[in-house]
Amino acid sequence: MSKSNSVLVGRKPVMNYVLACLTLFHSGANEVCVKARGRAISRAVDVVEVIRRRFLPDVKVGNISIGTEQVQSGSGNAPSNVSTIEITLVR
């Protein structure tokens, strides 16, 4: 899967990311990876569920990867751990 088939979920509304995924699927992609870190993880799960239940019922969850990244804060404090998730949708 190429990098262009990834959707990075952040602070925007859920439907913005749903539209991005739908655009990738309609442009011919067979796989789309939804990625998120920290507080955006719940929004990423919401994006996947909206796509699966409302728009594209033929899309299945291919793989779910979870992990942790160490992020250095700007003030020079000790690094903090941030959870990550990658959900692969397969058509």
pLDDT at position 72, please? 86
Compute and round to an integer the Cα radius of gyration of the chain: 14
Q: How many residues does the chain have?
A: 91
* Domain interval for residue 50: 3-90
pTM: 0.89
Q: Are 32 and 52 in contact (CB under 8 A)?
A: no
pLDDT at position 9, please? 98
Q: What angle do CA 24, 35, 76 make, to 5 degrees?
A: 140
Domain count of the chain? Answer: 1
Per residue in 18-66, pLDDT tens? 999 999 999 999 999 999 999 999 999 999 999 999 999 999 999 999 9
Domain containing residue 65: CATH number: 3.30.110.20
